[in-house]
Amino acid sequence: MTKRKRSEHYVDNKVFLQAMTEFKERCDKAEKRGRKKPPVTNYIGECFLKIANHLSYRPNFINYTFRDDMISDGIENCLQYLSNFNPKKSKNPFAYFTQIIYYAFIRRIQKEKKQVNIKAKLIEDANLADLHIDPNDTNKDYKNQFIEFLRKNSPKTDELPKKKEIKVRKRKRTKKTPLEIVIDEKN
């Protein structure tokens, strides 16, 4: 039997942890001195980019046309939550930032689906059968004609359905605390 050769990881977790530890120390020193946080090192930025790129090739993310937006959102979120990583609590920055990027991807997909639904609803409500584009028009600015048609026929903001109000119900307490039991027994 031949042994399978293990491929090298695209982000070395030990080196990444060392870089994050050094960065955290520099941030703490700058905070003590009352200065701004230092810029993120190139290595940390490259790690974020590599993690986001490789995660975008997973089967559940590969076929989206807005993959670049997903990657950008993931990197942005990593930079936003960079200071929350604590090397004393966790020795796995790769997993921490992969989760951040993963959920950024999920949020982007939800936003894009919402936009697609809005566009579909607008087109459905616009009744495109009423759209008359004159093929003899010398201007041939069909895009602007379509946009103008949508503006005229789209519902006004006060006509849009309002969000349902969520009623919060208070739960009834069924169990009594030991102190309440003792008080009840005395009475």
Q: How many domains does the chain have?
A: 1
pLDDT average, residue stretch 46-74: 92
pLDDT confidence bin for 160, thresholds 50/70/90: very low
24 lies in a domain?
A: yes
In terms of residue numbers, what domain contains 93? 7-133
Give the CA distances from residue 164 to residues 136, 155, 157, in Å, rounded to whole numbers and listed in that order.
47, 19, 16
Contacts of 150 (CB under 8 A, 6+ apart): 122, 126
170 lies in a domain?
A: no
Whether the per-residue pLDDT at 80 is higher than 80: the answer is yes
In this predicted structure, what is the pLDDT of residue 119?
83
80 lies in a domain?
A: yes
72 lies in a domain?
A: yes
11 lies in a domain?
A: yes
In this predicted structure, what is the pLDDT of residue 82?
92
Structure token digits, residue 8: 């090298």
63 lies in a domain?
A: yes
- Residues 5-57 pLDDT 10s: 655 668 888 999 999 999 999 999 999 999 998 999 999 999 999 999 999 99
139 lies in a domain?
A: no
Helix (H) or strand (E) holding 21: helix 13-33
pLDDT confidence bin for 81, thresholds 50/70/90: very high
150 lies in a domain?
A: no
pLDDT average, residue stretch 120-141: 65
Residue with tokens 């994050």: 20
Read off the amino acid at residue 33: R
Enumerate the H helices of 61-155 as residue ranges: 67-80, 93-126, 142-153
- Residues 105-115 pLDDT 10s: 999 999 998 88
Residue 108 burial (CB count, 10 A): 20
Predicted TM-score (pTM) of this structure:
0.64
119 vs 23, which has greater pLDDT? 23
Distance from C-alpha of 122 to C-alpha of 163, rounded to nearest angstrom: 18
